[in-house]
Amino acid sequence: MLNRVLLSIALITLIPLATFYVVGKGYIGQPWGSNTVVQGPRSATTLGDTAASVGGERQVLFGDLHTHTNYSLDAYLFNTSLIKGGGVVTPADACDFARYCSALDFWSINDHAESLTPRVWEDTVKVIRECNAQAGEPSSPDMVSFLGWEWSNGNKDDVPSHYGHKNVIFRAWEAGQTPARPIAAKKQYFLTRVPPMLIGVLSLFEGVFDASDLGWYLEESRSTPICDNSIPADQLPTDCREVALSPQDLYRKLDEWGFDSLVIPHGLAWGNTNPLSGDFKDQLDQHEQRYQKLLEVYSGHGSSELFEDFSRSSRSESGQLQCPEATENFTPCCQQAGVIARDRCADPKSQACDQEVDDAINSFLEKGAPKGRKIFSDATLDDWAGCGQLQNAFQPSSMYVPRLSAQYSMALGFDERGEPRRAQLGLIGSSDSHQARPGSSFKETNRLLYTDHKDTGQKAFRTDLFKADKESGAFYYTGGLIAAHTMGRDRDAIWRALNNRNVYATSGDRMLVWFDLINAPSGSVPMGSEVSMTDIPRFRVKALGAFEQQPGCPDYAVAALGHERLRSLCGGECYRPGGDRRKAITRIEIVRIRPQIKADEEIAPLIENEWRVFSCPADGDGCEVEFDDPDYTTGERSALYYARVIQEKQPLIVGDPFACQYDDAGICVKRNYCIGENAKPDMNCLSEAEPRAWTSPIFVEYPRQKSADKASGYERK
């Protein structure tokens, strides 16, 4: 009898374990494959809504160069019912969304190279070709779809070798003109190290076959050998995984392929994926200007524009950790730890309380952010008062890293060894959508579908709420767009604009912006240009606000997708401008940066964030301003200038990530972060903010400085 009981217990235990193992190994799974692209293109009569003629054939086209599907394994996890429940999405879904839901003029696929196997890469290439084949006449397509991937180097523990995330984009997609495989930044994706048994447990939430499909993909990834790095990229077999551990390795491999490509850094100031002490100076020796011409300054993870001169901690001359003072827009959490400790003292003015404050500050410094918050197990988010986050800024990225911001990066003139180097970057926006929904910023109507929010307010398991810095889950936005000034709609016209930096970023609204140096030696030149001159530079900025949107979707989208697919893919809403009414441009801010001319020159004084500010009439008819810079000739110093165009306030999804309630004195007494009970599925977490656009800079180089640079061995890269 006992033997039968033991046997029964063994079977009851072993059968589920064996099932989990079989599922986790993918034995009953099938390989993922993309859906079929819907037949296109959009009617030519619809394209005028997204492209504005500015004289002759010149147009402003809008795109998104940062899109993930379930081929990025983090996207797969985010979209499981365990976390968000968005379901499986493929490159074909991204194509259909870009064409019919967001009505983009161009977009790119950028799944994580670390996730992509050779088979999945081949499928991705096939879908991009299909998407372009449905675009109509190649000389004037309704949409251009670019091929690419994301190279994700994320070694946060080793700051000098942390080079961040970069999207690689290729001009061509035809057979023989694309790499045979993507180039990853790591030898192994972290999910491939997960034991099959744990993948099998996922079947309890996702179903046996869906979980086993994931197991199949992980087994495929694990079994793909690493390519021999000593063999040129274009001579390697197709069935291996290619790896470049540093940007210079990546550029070398791209050189070996020889195809036109761009490498676009993004997310540099995101503290959730980058070292909090990161400094772009450490990356300048790996910068390659001929590839890295653009920088994604804004995405669904927020803005990385501003340089704020703050630190989370510092060291004394003896090497002891110290807590810096708070600034107007940033409070180090070590300082706030002291505030919390003092608030809990029986006698806040006593010496004993002073000691408790010092102990709390030192304890926080020892543990570091965000783990230091655990020293007060019962502290609320309001107790921490938004510390560790950049405040009073437009939709900032979470856990902001100021020395990886766009302004700081462009103000540098020397790398960490003191060697002269500069990064001259055009500014773009994109979505970084992990739901195959490029350009998802056309309406602020569906937080869960149009943003990467993973906290639905009622899930049993919410990843963002398990972090010590809980409020980071609230810093997800609908994302941005890139606008390109082109001489036509075709692939090559768009590529020339990208390559020449004739582009600008928007926070999502399709504002029309022109920024020109009007007295360059050869005549007027547009944003992104580099000009050498000795005269006082004179500039012109013109801007029109975005069109107001109508609810629902246009007839062409209904005809192509049908009502059910419009609901599931687009959320029942599409880009649909109506009438002639444009939103008002309220002001134009000019930023001037004078890059370092000495290695020890302080950065903060070189960045003039609101160097000039021009108010605009709030009538919706646009704004035009001109200005010059007499300091340029008297100082005989190179400078770069860009325009920040501000549109009238409107309710945005997480317009203010802190969502403050203020007392009569204007002090934030409660923060309503878009997490937990504030983030239920029917909540869009709307708050007012000012949408904006950022032009690419115009780089004005003073000839004497260029001559001095050349004599001293300066190399601009």
The residue among 22 and 230 whose pLDDT is bigger is 230
* Residue 55: predicted pLDDT: 42
Strands 144-153 and 164-170: antiparallel
Q: Are 541 and 515 in contact (CB under 8 A)?
A: yes
CA distance linking residue 611 with residue 179, whole number of Å:
44
Exposed, middle or buried: residue 519 (CB in 10 Å: 0-12, 13-18, 19+)? middle
Q: Are 411 and 607 in contact (CB under 8 A)?
A: yes
pTM of structure:
0.94
* pLDDT of 145 above 90: yes
* pLDDT of 607 above 50: yes
Q: Alpha helix locations (H) across 612-666?
A: 631-635
Q: Which two tokens stand for residue 164?
A: 């961040």
CA distance linking residue 629 with residue 620, whole number of Å:
28
Considering only CA atoms, give the Rg of the chain. 26
Question: Within 10 Å of residue 257's Cβ, how many Cβ atoms?
Answer: 17
Q: H or E stretch including 383?
A: helix 381-384
Residues 27-61 pLDDT 10s: 888 888 888 899 888 887 677 545 454 444 579 99
The residue among 395 and 618 whose pLDDT is bigger is 395
**Average pLDDT along the chain:** 90
| Cα maximum dimension of the chain | 101
Q: Which residue has 């196997």 as its token pair?
A: 117
Q: Which two tokens stand for residue 235?
A: 């001579």
Exposed, middle or buried: residue 302 (CB in 10 Å: 0-12, 13-18, 19+)? buried
DSSP secondary structure code for residue 488 in this structure: S
Share of the chain above pLDDT 90, in %: 71
pLDDT band (50, 70, 90) for residue 6? low
Q: Are 107 and 145 in contact (CB under 8 A)?
A: yes
Q: Which residue has 């050779």 as its token pair?
A: 118
53-62, 427-436, 503-512, 690-699: range with lowest mean pLDDT: 53-62
* Residue 157: predicted pLDDT: 63
One-letter amino acid of 52: A
Average pLDDT over residues 169-178: 96
* Residue 24: predicted pLDDT: 77
Residues 332-388 pLDDT 10s: 999 999 999 999 999 999 999 999 999 999 999 999 888 899 999 999 999 999 999
Q: Which residue has 């030898």 as its token pair?
A: 187
Residues 212-243 pLDDT 10s: 888 888 889 888 999 999 999 999 998 999 99
- Residue among 527, 513, 498 at smallest CA distance from 700: 527
Average pLDDT over residues 98-110: 97
* pLDDT of 457 above 90: no
Helix, strand and coil content of the chain, in percent to the nearest 5, comes to 30, 20, 50
The residue among 449 and 469 whose pLDDT is bigger is 449
21-35, 322-336, 487-501, 581-595: range with lowest mean pLDDT: 21-35
For residue 615, the number of C-alpha atoms closer than 13 Å in the C-beta half-sphere is 2
Average pLDDT over residues 476-505: 97
Average pLDDT over residues 195-214: 82
DSSP secondary structure code for residue 551 in this structure: S
CA distance linking residue 365 with residue 313, whole number of Å:
7
Average pLDDT over residues 184-194: 80
Residues 660-700 pLDDT 10s: 998 888 888 899 999 988 888 889 999 999 999 999 999 99
Q: Which two tokens stand for residue 277?
A: 């002490």
Q: Which two tokens stand for residue 395?
A: 């939709």
* Residue 199: predicted pLDDT: 82
- The number of angstroms, rounded, from the C-alpha of 635 to the middle of its chain's C-alpha atoms is 36
Q: Are 306 and 393 in contact (CB under 8 A)?
A: yes
Exposed, middle or buried: residue 529 (CB in 10 Å: 0-12, 13-18, 19+)? buried
For the chain, domains (ranges, CATH) are: 44-308+396-441+478-510 (3.20.20.140), 314-384 (no CATH)
* Residue 8: predicted pLDDT: 60
* pLDDT of 194 above 70: yes
CA distance linking residue 419 with residue 442, whole number of Å:
44
Q: Which residue has 């990886």 as its token pair?
A: 404
* pLDDT of 463 above 50: no
Exposed, middle or buried: residue 386 (CB in 10 Å: 0-12, 13-18, 19+)? buried
